[in-house]
Each structure stands twice: as C-alpha cells, then as structure tokens.
Amino acid sequence: MNRKSVLGYILTALMIVSAIMVVLPVKAQGTTMELVNPVDGSHLFSFTTSEKSVGDTITINVTVNDVTDLFSWQIAVEWDPTLLSFSSISLPSDHVFKGKSYLPAGPDFPEPGYLVYGVSLGPGQSSFSGSGRLCQIVLTIIKAPTSGQTLQCDISFENLAVDTFLLDSRALDISFTTVNAQYHYSQPWTPPPPATIYLNPEKIVDTSLTPGSTFNVNLDIINATDLRSWSVQIIFDKSILSTSDATEGDFLKSLGSTSFYFQQTTLNATHNVLYLNCSLTMEVGKSGNGNLAEIAFQVLELGSTKLVLNDVELLNPAGLQLPYISKSGFFSNTLIAKLSIEPPEVRGSEYTPGSTFKINVTLSDVESLKTCVFNLTYNPLIIQEINISVPSVSGQSPVKKLVVDDVAGYIWANLTYRNGISVYGSAVIMNVEFQVIAAGVSPINLTQTELFGLNNEVIVHEVYHGIFIGLIRDVAVIHVESDLSMAYKGWQVNISVVVKNKGNITETFDLIIYANSSQILEGIVTNLEPNEERTISMLWDTSTVEPCNFYKISAQAEPVPYEINTADNFLENGHIKIRFMGDVTGDGKVDMRDVNAAVQAFRAYPGRPLWNPELDLDRNNIIDMKDILIIILNFNKGC
C-alpha cells in the first residue's frame, strides 16, 4: 500500500470519529501560513542575472506560526510555470513533526506550476503547537529576462480549505491566514553598440549651388537597436542656408504609424536651428539601418557652413537613451583645397615581402597656390620608400626641399611654385614607390600640412590619408566548448572549436586540443577562406584519462608562415571533471549511495521529473538495470 493510500485511510477514519463526537468550536489563534525566503526572512525572491542564471534554484520555506493542536497539514502552491519549474520538496531537519511518526503524501501536480503536498502524524502521536517549518520547496529558474526586463510572478497558496488546509487532532480545520511570496528576476539594461546618426552626404562642396538653388540632405542611421523615437537639432549659418521642407524617412514608419515634426527657428544672431523628431505610436522598436528624414535646403549666399547635429536623442520602447555616434555635415559652394593619398587604399595578398607598389600625393580644387608643405609618414617595419619623383604641374616644376628618413619612416616635402598654380580637379604633385619589407599593415598619412597662396596667405584645405594592407596571415581560435562539464572515465566528450581566418589569404593549418597541458586531439583545418569562421568538432575518448581530476580544455591553432599576431592562436575555455564510472554522487567513491541514487531514479528518461543524465551511465536515455549493473561492477572504486 503506498503512502498516499495509507494517509487517505487515516484521514477518513479520523473524520468518521469526529462525526460522532460533540463538535467543539475552534478558536482562531492568529495562525498564519507563510512562504518565506530563508536568506532574509522576507517574502520576496528578487534576483538579477548577475546573481542567478537559468538552471539555478530558489528555496522557499513553508512555515506555520502560532498554531495550536496541529495534526495534519496540506498545501497547494502555485507559480508561473513559464518562469519557474519544480525541482524538489522536502521536510527540513527541524520540521514541525520531527521526532514523531508521520506520513507524507505527494507531491502531486494537477497542472504545470501547481503543487499539492501534505503530511499527517501517525496514530497515537501528539499534535504540534507553536511555530515552525512545514517543508521546503525548491524551484528552478527556466527563463531569463531580456536586457532591461523584469520577469515576475506570485508564488501563492491556492484553493484554501480545499487544497490548502490545517487539521487538528480531531480532524477539524484550523483557521489561518496566508502570506504569499513574490518572485522578481531582472536583467540590468546593457546598452547596445552605439548607432551612428549622420547627414548623407556628409560633405556637399558644389560651386554650381549658387544663391537661389536648392539641395537635399538625408538624415540616416546605421546600427540602430530597438529604436522607437528620435529627435535632433541641425544648426547652420543662417546667412548661407535656410530650410524649406523636411519629410519623414521610411525607417520607423515601415514598422507602423508614426508622428513626425519639424520646425526651423532662430538660434542666435548668426545661426538657425532645425528641430526634427519622430516617434512610433506603438511601444515597439526598430533595428537596423535606414533613412530617418530628408531635409531640403535653400542656398542664400556664397560661402561655407557646418551642419552640426546637436542634442541627439534616441530612445527605445522603455524610454531609455540609446548610445550613439553623431557625424555632422558640411556645405560649401566655394572651392576647398584637398591634399590626398591616391589610391587611398593599397591591399592584396600579392604584396609579399620584396614586392613593390606606388602611391601618388595629389592636390585638388585650389586657386593661386604657391607653396605646399607636408610630411608623409609610414611604418618602416612594413614598407620602405625606394623611389621619389616630383612631376611638374601646369607646366611648372617646383622648387623643392625633401627630407627622407628611412629609419623613422617619413618624407618631408616643401614644394614652391614661383608663379602659383590653380588646380580644378586633381593633379599629382609627388609619386612614391615603396617596397614591402614584411607582412602587415601600414598607414600612409599626410601630417604637418600647410598650403600658402601667392601673398603667403593660408589656404584652408582638407587632408585625406592612405593605408597599405599587404599579405596578412592570421589564424585564430575564437571559441572552445565541450558538450559536457562532467564525464565518466570511458565516455566520449564532444569538443567544438571555432577557428577564424583573420588574414587575407586562404589558410590550411594544424589544430591541437589540450586537456590541461596534455595534447588529446589533433586535426587539420583546410582551405579556410579569409574572414571565414568554421566549427571543428572532435571526440575525446576519456578511457585512458585519470579520474578524480578537473581538466582545462584549450585549443591551439598552429602559426602559419609570416603570422605576426599569434596571441589569438590559443584559447582556453571551461573545464571537465572526470569521475570514476559509477560515481554518480560525485563524492569520489563508488558505493551504495550511488546504487541508491540510480534505484530512486529507476526507469526515468528525458522529460520525467527524476531524469538525471548523470545517472544514465550507458547514455541510452533511460535509467535502468544496465546503469545499476555498471555501478555494481565498479563498486568500491574511488579516488
């Protein structure tokens, strides 16, 4: 006869006896049943994701206070099964019926998130009066909140007097009140990577945009995350430009209805400001890239002005400010001189040590220039200049002064055109040939630049740098993971390694996996394309591994020729505990505790409450006599 049946017969007998007795009224003594946090004695279970993770548990004390003549009790406790799952229920060592003969019943689960459990004293036992713990419930966290979210639910006594009750020694109900608990699980908001809000095009330099002309500029965003509303000010010189119109872009309204507003007002004596804002009417957010607005400007005068983005506000549905990078714009309908490296980028796997390439220093959009000064810098460990030429411009060969330092890596130049030059478009003022010294990357920058006119007046100009990206050989291990954190000696452990080719040529290389300092696996990664990531999985046979130890798992991508950065070739992540086969309790010895643990979970399989994969020694997804026999065959083995 099972324990629930025994308890049922006893309760029935007690109720029959009580029916023929004189019924005496039970006086309420202010008895309470409470769900208590054993850590602080409160009724709140509040955690953040930094304190607990999915799979962690919470322990709830079920207590009774100021009770008289307690002989039997039963509770029904309910919680949100999408947030928490049942793990266990137990009677603590100091429970109210300790030292007496008692019969537990349950637990029973009429539906997910609903637990019924009870205990009655046996025949002839004396009842309990006072305060104490009835039982302990352990629940498992099964859902994590998203960033900035709080998951919460009540943990409460349910169905009072039917599923939840206290009985005295005459099987009469004891009056009581309940105090329930609350569960809160939150994740502090982690700001996403910054979005970039900018004017597109960022620079408008066009001499055809004379007074009376109009042009359009887009306000765009890239890398937006959960954007619900935005607002921005655009500040500009009111003597040069005026806004005539602004229309909403399709970024937010592609998700639903929006409200859009713009207004131009005077900021101060010299500048106007355009206010723009837009918001989704629903509490949702949009991620990605797109157009926020299109602004129409009217040209009033010749000149230049910055288009400054100011007071940017990007909000998510929770009203939190999202991080951002703003890039202001620039307008000019007059010429702006430019000093540039052309081409701005030289790259390719063909640029191996010993090969050569050429770049030009170019001058563009300048009138009546007499003197040009610049310092061209580079990394002398990667590239080395081997030839410099200075061509004529508009029929003039400049008077030149050059200082070349091959050790420091620079070419300083002063070029003077006695009669002055004007360049509409661009012209080459220097050609430099480099030889590649080593694999790698070198900026090619123009620094300390100065332009002067015929009367030695300073000419405002822009500078555009260059870069050399030669042969780059760089393989890396970016992730290591095993499918088990514990394994029995003889089990096979799947180890997954993610490798990446950070270089610019296809690579083939050796991959070695270690447990502590011992090599356990080796493989070859073949034909890994530039920027490709690939997962390599290998099985580790632990038959020869010494149990009772933790093993740190690491992976090493063997360096390839010309690889400079080898710091990312090695990665260690996680560890695996190897136990003796059959040591299911993990105490370092195979004994009757392990046999008992397997017997208690007999016939359990995935999805059943008693399922524990650590008891499935033959890994066939059911705990049966085969597993028990394995424990017996390894009996008394230990560390």
The pTM of the whole model exceeds 0.75: no
Say how far apart CA 331 and CA 240 lie, in whole Å. 9
Average pLDDT over residues 343-355: 90
Average pLDDT over residues 322-344: 92
User: For residues 139 and 86, is the Cβ–Cβ distance under 8 A?
Assistant: yes
Say how far apart CA 582 and CA 596 lie, in whole Å. 12
Q: Which of 145-159, 486-500, 617-631 has the highest mean pLDDT?
A: 486-500
Say how far apart CA 106 and CA 126 lie, in whole Å. 23
In a domain? residue 587:
no
- Tell me phi and psi for residue 424, to 5 degrees: -110, 110
In a domain? residue 434:
yes
In degrees, rounded to 5, the angle at the alpha carbon of residue 343 between the alpha carbons of residues 338 and 346 is 140
Q: Which are the contacts of 39, defined by CB distance < 8 A and separation ≥ 6?
A: none
Total number of domains in the chain: 5
Q: What is the pLDDT of residue 598?
A: 87
147 and 22 co-located in one domain: yes
- Look at 603 and 64; give whichever has higher pLDDT: 64
Say how far apart CA 140 and CA 56 lie, in whole Å. 6
In a domain? residue 20:
yes
pLDDT higher than 70, residue 24: no
Average pLDDT over residues 551-579: 92
Using the CB atoms, write b or e for 136-164: b if 16+ within 10 Å. Answer: bbebebeeebebbeebebebbbbeeeebb
Closest CA to 391 of 439, 428, 437, 446: 428
CA-based torsion, 524, 527, 531, 535: positive or negative: negative
164 and 22 co-located in one domain: yes
Last residue of a domain, one of 314, 332, 350: 332
In a domain? residue 586:
no
Q: What is the pLDDT of residue 53?
A: 95
Torsion of CA 261, 264, 266, 267, to 10 degrees: 60
pLDDT band at 17 (very low <50, low <70, confident <90, very high): very low
Domain CATH number, residue 519 = 2.60.40.10
In a domain? residue 52:
yes
Helices and strands (H, E) in the chain, number of each type: 4, 39
280 and 429 co-located in one domain: no
Q: What is the pLDDT of residue 23?
A: 35
Last residue of a domain, one of 283, 308, 332: 332
Q: What is the pLDDT of residue 25?
A: 37
Q: Which are the contacts of 20, defined by CB distance < 8 A and separation ≥ 6?
A: none
pLDDT band at 162 (very low <50, low <70, confident <90, very high): confident
77 and 146 co-located in one domain: yes
Mean pLDDT (the chain, rounded) = 91
Rama region for 124: left / alpha / beta (φ>0; ψ in -120 to 50; rest): left
Say how far apart CA 414 and CA 420 lie, in whole Å. 14
In a domain? residue 270:
yes
Q: What is the pLDDT of residue 29?
A: 52
346 and 280 co-located in one domain: no
24 and 132 co-located in one domain: yes
pLDDT higher than 60, residue 373: yes
Q: What is the pLDDT of residue 602?
A: 86
pLDDT 10s digits, 275-299 = 999 999 998 999 999 999 999 999 9
In a domain? residue 231:
yes
Domain CATH number, residue 608 = 1.10.1330.10
Q: Which are the contacts of 464, defined by CB distance < 8 A and separation ≥ 6?
A: 338, 339, 340, 341, 344, 446
144 and 17 co-located in one domain: yes
pLDDT 10s digits, 492-537 = 999 999 999 998 889 999 999 999 999 999 999 999 999 999 999 9
Q: What is the pLDDT of residue 530?
A: 92
313 and 341 co-located in one domain: no
303 and 346 co-located in one domain: no
pLDDT 10s digits, 380-407 = 999 999 999 999 999 999 999 999 999 9
pLDDT higher than 90, residue 6: no
Q: What is the pLDDT of residue 27?
A: 39
Structural domain boundaries enclosing 483: 475-579
Last residue of a domain, one of 448, 469, 490: 469
Average pLDDT over residues 606-630: 91
Q: What is the pLDDT of residue 549?
A: 93
Residue listed under structure tokens 């059911």: 622
- The pairing of strands 466-469 and 345-347 is parallel
End-to-end CA distance of the chain: 41
126 and 213 co-located in one domain: no
Average pLDDT over residues 291-308: 94
In a domain? residue 399:
yes
491 and 563 co-located in one domain: yes
pLDDT higher than 60, residue 11: no
Task: Count CB atoms within 10 A of the CB of residue 50.
Answer: 9
Q: Which amino acid is at 328?
A: S
176 and 138 co-located in one domain: yes
Domain CATH number, residue 312 = 2.60.40.680
- Tell me phi and psi for residue 10, to 5 degrees: -65, -45
Say how far apart CA 495 and CA 209 lie, in whole Å. 64
Q: What percent of the chain is modeled with pLDDT above 70?
A: 95
pLDDT higher than 80, residue 20: no
pLDDT 10s digits, 442-479 = 999 999 999 999 999 999 899 999 999 888 889 999 99
